Structure 1
């Protein structure tokens, strides 16, 4: 793979489809980040300050359910029609929020945006499996990681510009236009694309149970009482496990047959993705508030410090995109080790050590995923049968976002245990600077164990 260049990746007419895939991933990654920045303006205009968290939770619930079902829907309707329709639905959801006269319609629009963006990004992942030969997948996934990194940096900036101009509704008109462009491009660029192999039918039972599990985790993310939140996370994760058991026995499947078996490449890969993502959320969510309170940083400078995670992720992903296949296991394992090490460093440095240590911890956190993510995804895809490739590939987006939602709730509960929800003071920020990161080290260890299984026993099996 190392001898193959980026030119070959984009040759044979693949460049326009590559751009379409990146646009689909961007719509999902940037929408939530842009909206988080404008919510104070939305609250002032629509009177919905109490519903800040519900805007994000509603989007994530929709996105996770859609991402999980995208593979099956692409099999039923064909990738071209499904992608184009998802773009139209996304546009409709954006228009609903743009014209909303009250917070109720605004939140409904956010749920519709979440579902449609989940479908768009899920169908984009299916397109990766259909359009690109396996030898190019590491570079493709490195580029997708780059899109997520760019969204992390540009999303809040774009939202801030609209908010400062007093035109928050313009954000949704902007994304409506991008969604329409995606839909039109999908009709043109995906003509003649092969219909993904798979069975007929929709797994209604699994989707219904998945809705309960994801909703429990999403609600935990907006509840201030820490022990109730942790209980809801535990219930939600248990329900997700039940989904795997039901799906394993179902005639119409939602996930690949081996999704719940960590002895296999698919099961170990999904587990590593979920737990590693969950362990990483505290830095982006609570880092800015901690830095501003304890170090007197402005919001802009705190944002730059947090941004080192996405910068390191992107740089690391491109740095290893061309390595040979025999080195993949090394980079996956190094990524898992970097994750644990980053959390240890942040636990000891966020509260008052030299800023250089905070930057080092944030950089290692991003590098952990840059080194490992594309190779984990590629190994999972390679292990999938033809009839399971569409559903298995699109599910990686849903697994990532479910892990993010669970991690956000766990980090939030840890922060609230030490008084974060009662008010942001030097004392509460100091305590949160330790426990937000220390509390998720066990999750990182579980994710690391799964990553080592992915490249060890599961790979041999």
Structure 2
């Protein structure tokens, strides 16, 4: 029985014979992305001990997020060209191939390539899953479906570290990726069985290739700054990465086929301020997800499972506060924009000290505070950034919110890897070096958190 032919009582419920399998399909697609980062962050110290590559640590996240950005920008074109069913199934297959590449990787460079392919698949899967909601459910249920699938991200906060920790503790980190290969195979089969067949139209849609190329180049230059021997060359590469970001924004403002709204670089607009706040705060915070598990395991002789849960406090703090402030009226959201940005800054400073020098409890509390800052303001920043865009760009502004966050994550992960290598962590986390240089590694990105506060302060007016 189709969604449109469900009985009146069934059509107002998500869980019935017709809709439950479709809802499970969406949850599985979102789960593949939601759990990936926390699972991988938990097992990364085990990966590096097995196949080396501490000097490329940040790329495990940066490559994945860069792939997600590219795929997210191309998913609409892919859906138009192939049709929703084939595009979603193809994306799931790409994700499975990336997971298999990571699982089979004999060296860290191959592992990073697998992570890039994973990101390409996962970014497209998530984008297309949200598109599929309109094809699988009656319109009256769309708001409830969007709210329900959001709980998958909260579930990943709890289950992600558990999965990663169990596989790492068993000395079989590759098994975590094989598990996701199996889940992706189930997802592809379910997509082919449940999504309606549709024809594509390759002539429709344009991908913003110049902006994506400049973005990938900029992130690559920032990451490369950490693996070159010459400090002068490292500085030059980092500057080149920053210029690449600026060039991407300049090109984006001058082309009709944009990755971000035209006002993304206009700091006199609410859209520009909002996207800057999201980018800057994410860039400042992502280093704790990348290097937190390794520092916690080394400094406290903690198990991968425990380290994963300590880092998971960031997501837990975010989710908890987001639920608490979810019904704040629009006329009061400016206060939470400012308050959240200030809490992010305070949480980042506390976490920069606690991660290398604090107790486990102090570290978890600092991480929870950092996440709480995002939970307090992220939705309201997004609301103002989207509302501040011209009417014909509000849909693009909606997509630009997660895209800006992904760009910040990829940039911050690459930058954290570069900074870690410059500070002497290219061959692992030495306890004495962690005590002396660890705070500088994490605090190096505090100026970006300050920039986020300044932008949020203006946005909150």
Task: Please say whether Structure 1 and Structure 2 have the same fold, judged by a TM-score greater than 0.5.
Answer: yes
Q: Decide whether the 8 Å contact of 1:87 with 1:179 is kept in 2.
A: yes
In 2, Cα distance between equivalents of 1:103 and 1:346:
28
Aligned partner (choices 435, 440, 443) of residue 440 of structure 2: 435
CA distance 1:189–1:379, change in 2 (3 Å): farther
TM-score by length of 1: 0.78
CA shift for structure 1 position 229: 4.7
CA distance 1:452–1:287, change in 2 (3 Å): same
Aligned partner (choices 114, 117, 122) of residue 122 of structure 2: 117
Aligned partner (choices 243, 249, 257) of residue 244 of structure 1: 249
Matches within 5 A, 1:93-242: 93-98=98-103, 107-124=112-129, 140=146, 144=150, 147-148=152-153, 150-165=155-170, 167-186=172-191, 191=196, 200-220=205-225, 228-229=233-234, 231-242=236-247
In 1, Cα distance between equivalents of 2:108 and 2:304:
27
Q: Decide whether the 8 Å contact of 1:272 with 1:446 is kept in 2.
A: yes
Q: Deviations over 1:396-434 (max 9, x none)?
A: 333222212322344444445544447644442222343
Aligned partner (choices 18, 26, 31) of residue 36 of structure 2: 31
Matches within 5 A, 1:48-63: 49=53, 53=57, 55-63=60-68
CA shift for structure 1 position 368: 0.8
Aligned partner (choices 250, 255, 258) of residue 263 of structure 2: 258
In 2, Cα distance between equivalents of 1:258 and 1:417:
35
In 1, Cα distance between equivalents of 2:403 and 2:396:
11
CA distance 1:158–1:29, change in 2 (3 Å): same
Q: Deviations over 1:137-167 (max 9, x none)?
A: 79957964x5445435533432343345565
CA distance 1:80–1:370, change in 2 (3 Å): farther
Q: Decide whether the 8 Å contact of 1:71 with 1:392 is kept in 2.
A: no
Structure-1 residue corresponding to 2:3: none
1:312 and 2:323 aligned: no
In 1, Cα distance between equivalents of 2:90 and 2:313:
36
TM-score by length of 2: 0.78
CA shift for structure 1 position 381: 4.1
CA distance 1:332–1:296, change in 2 (3 Å): same
CA distance 1:379–1:177, change in 2 (3 Å): farther
In 2, Cα distance between equivalents of 1:330 and 1:201:
39
CA distance 1:111–1:306, change in 2 (3 Å): closer
CA distance 1:72–1:141, change in 2 (3 Å): farther
Q: Please list every run of 5 or more consecutive structure 2 residues that lacks an aligned counterpart in the other structure.
A: 1-10
Q: Deviations over 1:333-376 (max 9, x none)?
A: 22101011112333455555676544432221010111222333
1:279 and 2:259 aligned: no
Q: Secondary structure at the match of 1:259?
A: helix
Q: Decide whether the 8 Å contact of 2:165 with 2:306 is kept in 1.
A: no
Q: Decide whether the 8 Å contact of 1:290 with 1:429 is kept in 2.
A: yes
Structure-2 residue corresponding to 1:4: none
How many residues align? The count is 447
Aligned partner (choices 59, 62, 86) of residue 91 of structure 2: 86
Q: Decide whether the 8 Å contact of 1:224 with 1:416 is kept in 2.
A: no
In 2, Cα distance between equivalents of 1:169 and 1:350:
27
CA distance 1:297–1:155, change in 2 (3 Å): closer
In 2, Cα distance between equivalents of 1:132 and 1:440:
45
In 2, Cα distance between equivalents of 1:127 and 1:446:
37
Structure-2 residue corresponding to 1:268: 273
In 2, Cα distance between equivalents of 1:438 and 1:38:
24
In 2, Cα distance between equivalents of 1:414 and 1:51:
10
CA distance 1:426–1:37, change in 2 (3 Å): closer
CA shift for structure 1 position 220: 3.9
Q: Output the aligned Cα RMSD.
A: 4.3
CA distance 1:408–1:103, change in 2 (3 Å): closer
Aligned partner (choices 441, 450, 453) of residue 448 of structure 1: 453
CA distance 1:103–1:349, change in 2 (3 Å): closer
CA shift for structure 1 position 239: 0.9
